[in-house]
Amino acid sequence: MPIHPLLVKTKLYKLILFLTKPFNKVYTYMTFLDYVSVNRNHGFINDYYNKKANYKNRFQLHETLQQKMEITQKPINYLEFGVAEGDMIKFWVSKNIHKDSLFLGFDSFEGLPESWENKKRGHFASAGNTPVISDNRVSFVKGWFQDTVCMSLKSIDFSNQSVFHLDADLFSSTLYVLFQIHQYIKKEDIIIFDEFSSFEHEFMAFETFRKCVGKAWKFQFLGAVNNYKQVALQIK
């Protein structure tokens, strides 16, 4: 007889669940460190191990990619999932000069839908206001990804190279977006994560996605800063 009827009947599984949860976390963390180790010394930029991780380094990663991939003068689609005050979308708009480029930002502008690490639900809220960027190549889609992304992506022409910037922090939001963009990604497109080292969230979402679609695509490592907090990949 299998053991599970006994565990269910006695509710002993609850105790085992409680006791084994930390091991699950440790396992995910070691999986993340394996990713770090495999890609160590690779990429156009990689500061591992960097004792002085800092916010400005994320711009350095994006700028390095723009230069190395020569995408400042080409028409691109830059899609950002998680915009908040718009620091990074503003940066891309200022660096890419092609008139046919498209910059599209998705956000509830009501902050995180769930707590994430030490941030509470609602963190990053901007009272529903979208950033002000005076450039007609830029637009925003306001609302929860689950209500907006699928429909909005249908109207985009994905023939230009696309840069997908995933900065929604949460496992749920990131995984949802990855599966939504899946049907539109193509070789040479770039995916950038902003909180990759949040290993139970963005990293885990990527791992889950990669396992599901991994045979169709290769995700070539392009670089990382702030000890793999920000990571860039290219579809091959």
Ligand X SMILES: C[S@@+](CC[C@H](N)C(=O)[O-])C[C@H]1O[C@@H](n2cnc3c(N)ncnc32)[C@H](O)[C@@H]1O
Binding residues vs ligand X (CB under 6 A): 80, 82-85, 87-88, 107-108, 111-113, 124, 144-145, 167-170, 173
118 versus 159: smaller Cβ distance to ligand X: 118
Instruction: Kindly state the tokens that stand for 50.
Output: 């960097």
Q: Which is nearer to ligand X, 112 or 233 (CB)?
A: 112
For residues 31 and 57, which CB has a smaller minimum distance to ligand X in the complex?
57
Confirm if 163 and 222 have CB atoms less than 8 A apart.
Answer: no
- CA dist list (Å): 112 to 33, 53, 75, 147: 26, 24, 31, 15
Of the two residues 149 and 185, which places its CB atom closer to ligand X in the complex? 149
C-alpha 85, offset from chain centre? 17
Using left for φ > 0, alpha for ψ between -120 and 50, and beta otherwise, residue 193 falls in: beta
Which residue is nearest to ligand X, using beta carbons? 82
User: Minimum CB separation from ligand X for residue 177, in Å?
Assistant: 8
Task: Fill in the amino acid letter for 144.
Answer: W
- Smaller CB separation from ligand X, 87 or 135: 87
Q: In the complex, what is the shortest distance from the CB of residue 61 to ligand X, in angstroms, rounded to a whole number?
A: 12
| Residue count (the chain) | 236
Ramachandran category for residue 95: left, alpha or beta (phi over 0 → left; psi -120 to 50 → alpha): alpha
Q: How far is the CB of 52 from ligand X (least distance, A)?
A: 20
Q: In the numeric block, which tokens belong to residue 77?
A: 């689609």
Q: Smallest distance, Å, CB 57 to ligand X? A: 13
In the complex, least distance from residue 50 CB atom to ligand X, rounded to whole angstroms: 20
